[in-house]
Structure 1
Amino acid sequence: MKLLRHVSFIGNKFTGIVSTSYQFGICDYSTSKQSSPAEYCVDMVRTHDYENFLCTLLLPNECRTSAFAIRAFNIEVARVQDSVSEVTIGQMRMKFWEDTLEKIYQNDVPKHPVAMELYRAVKRHKLSKRYLKRLISVRANHLITSTYPNIEAMESYAENSVSSVLYLMLECSGLQNVHADHAASHLGKAQGITNLIRSIPHNAQHRVIPLPQDVLVKHSVSQEMVVRGSREKPLRDVIFDVACRARQHLDKARSLSSDVPKSAHVIFLPAITIDSYLEKLQQSDFDVFDGSLQQRNNFLPISLLWNKLRLKY
């Protein structure tokens, strides 16, 4: 319970919300003195990615702040698509982050709290630029087309958008291990595919269908069925097929645990959140529009802490 209170204290410490103004992703941070760049990043992750916020809180002190910077950067580029109505504007915002990343590696950092914190992380841990670039490029491509011709395309998106974050986390921890990289690849694919399943109710409202076209065709499910929130068996069969692929990647990542350094296990705690959602999805008979799937798991903090203590993921 002492550790649980400590986690709660950390989470409550950074509750200040920064008032910012944006233009093409540029934050006028000079007008806001309510929090430091580090606190800004923590609050962004807490607000927009709560489950990964809990997982990141449990990382060792030496890499926690950098991990929040990486996740905040990932959120910034991921939110571009939802925050614009025109592809051109989205591309301009992506260009801002592309230029910002170049400047970070040239020691010329814009006065944006996320950029400032990411610069500190890059310098402290010598983070690989290619993984950060992937986080931008995969979302930039998504602005043009957000459809997946097959489940392999979903896996590729998940690898670039989620596994890349885990690779950067491993670098923050100073871990260079082929088994850890292998597990990160599979876990990222599992989480990325699960995230796409979870996003269906929200995306359907905007007539965006993040499901593989070949699986939709296989079960004779039209995009209109998804848009109107069908709870019929054909769509549930589609969700079952996609969820099975996420489960396969999760199981593979866990099967590698004996070869993964123990210090990396805490980085892979998102496996607990994936498993929790997939279990609930199965209990709902793969009805992705079941309201219970949108409810927060109040036992998740305890489960994450327990698995950290057990060195399990």
Structure 2
Amino acid sequence: MFCRVRNNHKIYVPFSKSVTQKTTSNENSLQYCANIVRQHDYENYLATLLMTKALRSPTFVIRAFNAEVARVQDQTTDPQTAAMRLQFWNDAVNSIYQNKHLSNIPANPITQELYKVCLSYKLQRRYIERLISSRSSLLKTKYFKTMEDLEKYTENTVSTIYYLILGIAGVTNVHADHAASHLGKAQGIANILRSVHVSNYHKSILLPMDILMKNKISQESVLRGNDNENMRNVIFEVASRANSHLEKARSIDVPKITNQIFLPAIAVDKYLTKLQNANFNVFDKRLLYGSPTLPLSLYYKRLLNKY
């Protein structure tokens, strides 16, 4: 099997006629992106902080873009308003890939930095657009019929992030892509489990309908937060699929540089363990709180260059 890792990593330098004149502006934009990730994607924020300098800044930009797109469905219950907001990001991506000058890109710190990252690392447009289109599709369907539908969604919304970061790192390796696919699915499924409370607030059920029906759990029961044996069986089955993907990702031999990219696996593992300790009661309020030992665990694994 061919494996190629380009070691001549490009340092992330913004496009500018005069770098020195715009250093402060660029730093402010990058800090804005990092703050968005810190506020809305904290566990990935911690993991990104531990990446090498060459990868850290562009990764924050990609994750900030994803955070803003993902938040659209949480910011409004009006489908039309949500669609308009997603259209803004679609238009911005179109501008980026039409090779327009930076001055023609929407004056938003994330879109401005995304422009520089996409051009610097020649990121594939289909991955960027996939992050938007998958959210747009979910706004229309509002639920997943099967576990396979949920896995496809997590592939498109989480695994895709890892594909983009691998592109930034210059990694072109089929094993790394395979691991990224499984890790993204594990993390995405865990995110769905963690968002049950938020989903209830929006009156939407994101647990797979086929598993709910098999265990005779109604949507109303989930919305009411009813904890019972059947509901725990649903959560056990969904969580088991996430754990299976996580174990598969960790079993794949990948280039050493990718270990830092896959550090979020630690947070996924901690949540699934916490859920198991709660006997798969997804409504247990203790699950709403992050792990106080996560920063130390991430740092330790980073020292070992493992995930």
Give TM-score, length-normalised by structure 2: 0.89
Taking the aligned partners of 1:266 and 1:38, their CA distance within structure 2 comes to: 20
SS at match of 1:262: coil
Taking the aligned partners of 1:171 and 1:217, their CA distance within structure 2 comes to: 40
1:279 aligns with 273
1:219 aligns with 215
Q: How does 1:148-159 map to 2 (within 5 A)?
A: 148-159=144-155
1:73 aligns with 65
Q: How does 1:125-136 map to 2 (within 5 A)?
A: 125-136=121-132
CA drift of 1:60 comes to 1.0
2:108 aligns with 112
What is the CA RMSD across the aligned residues, in angstroms?
Answer: 1.3
For residue 307 of structure 1, the aligned residue among 292, 301, 305 is 301
Taking the aligned partners of 2:186 and 2:142, their CA distance within structure 1 comes to: 18
SS at match of 1:36: helix
CA drift of 1:276 comes to 0.2
Taking the aligned partners of 1:63 and 1:270, their CA distance within structure 2 comes to: 15
For residue 270 of structure 1, the aligned residue among 264, 267, 270 is 264
Q: How does 1:238-257 map to 2 (within 5 A)?
A: 238-256=234-252
Gapped regions of structure 2 (runs ≥ 5): 1-24
1:13 aligns with none
AA of the residue aligned to 2:111 = A
Residues 40-59 of structure 1: CA distance to partner in whole angstroms, max 9, x if unpaired? Answer: 00000000010000011111
Asked if structure 1 preserves the Cα contact closer than 8 Å seen for 2:34 and 2:60, the reply is: yes
For residue 89 of structure 2, the aligned residue among 97, 108, 122 is 97
For residue 52 of structure 1, the aligned residue among 44, 54, 57 is 44
CA drift of 1:85 comes to 2.5
1:186 maps onto 2:182 in alignment: yes
SS at match of 1:77: helix
Residues 132-154 of structure 1: CA distance to partner in whole angstroms, max 9, x if unpaired? Answer: 00000000111111211110000
1:84 aligns with 76
CA drift of 1:265 comes to 0.4
Where does structure 1 differ by over 4 angstroms across 4 or more consecutive aligned residues? none
Q: How does 1:16-27 map to 2 (within 5 A)?
A: none
Taking the aligned partners of 1:206 and 1:94, their CA distance within structure 2 comes to: 18
Query: Alignment identity in percent?
Result: 49
AA of the residue aligned to 1:146 = K
Taking the aligned partners of 2:231 and 2:77, their CA distance within structure 1 comes to: 28
Taking the aligned partners of 1:85 and 1:199, their CA distance within structure 2 comes to: 16
Question: Which of the pair has the greater relative contact order for Cα pairs under 8 Å at 6+ separation?
Answer: 2
Residues 238-267 of structure 1: CA distance to partner in whole angstroms, max 9, x if unpaired? Answer: 0000000001100000010xx200010010
Taking the aligned partners of 2:94 and 2:29, their CA distance within structure 1 comes to: 19
Asked if structure 1 preserves the Cα contact closer than 8 Å seen for 2:77 and 2:202, the reply is: no
Taking the aligned partners of 1:231 and 1:308, their CA distance within structure 2 comes to: 38
AA of the residue aligned to 2:282 = V
Taking the aligned partners of 1:104 and 1:65, their CA distance within structure 2 comes to: 19
AA of the residue aligned to 1:142 = L
Taking the aligned partners of 2:121 and 2:296, their CA distance within structure 1 comes to: 30
AA of the residue aligned to 1:298 = P
2:3 aligns with none
1:168 aligns with 164
2:10 aligns with none
CA drift of 1:182 comes to 0.3
Residues 71-117 of structure 1: CA distance to partner in whole angstroms, max 9, x if unpaired? Answer: 01001111111112221111111111111001112233211100011
